[in-house]
Structure 1
């Protein structure tokens, strides 16, 4: 599939959002046209159960946990995705960050 951009979704605690946005912006991952720092943020409630062998940021092994977190969404040019993922994994506090990289195919319909 040929595409130029992706949407990156990141589920992250709110206190990490500004730091992550700033570092992603520094590599142009949050740039759309003549604008930078472009992203959306939605408050969500997440659920998880840490399994044996895990080292949870929050929660207790074997117990279903829930908590508030943020869903960051940004549109990123394909050439910045690998660097963006490195930055996300460096800053994100979760042992297993939930990150979705979704191809954006808007240009196919223009």
Structure 2
């Protein structure tokens, strides 16, 4: 989940492609060719209305969600950007030394 991707569809294209009504859509940023963790990104939700019976179709919404890893114990969302550690960094950090001192 530490990778990046490009979000090239416009808001109107997403509304049309996923059949989302205008009033159920957040305002979104424009195209982003370098979407990284912790950025808000468009997500399509399909939810049943609260007073739905068995034949009701779900209502689709276009919302801006933040993606990335965030531990349940974090009190601040900035912690999520610090929890990933590359394998090379583990070799030089003191806290990982007992785990990397001996090769298997």
Could you say which structure has the greater relative contact order, defined with CA pairs below 8 angstroms and 6 or more residues apart? 1
Q: Which is greater in Rg? A: 2
Structure 1 and Structure 2 fold alike (TM over 0.5): no
Q: TM-score, normalised by structure 2?
A: 0.29
Q: TM-score, normalised by structure 1?
A: 0.28
More strand by share: 1
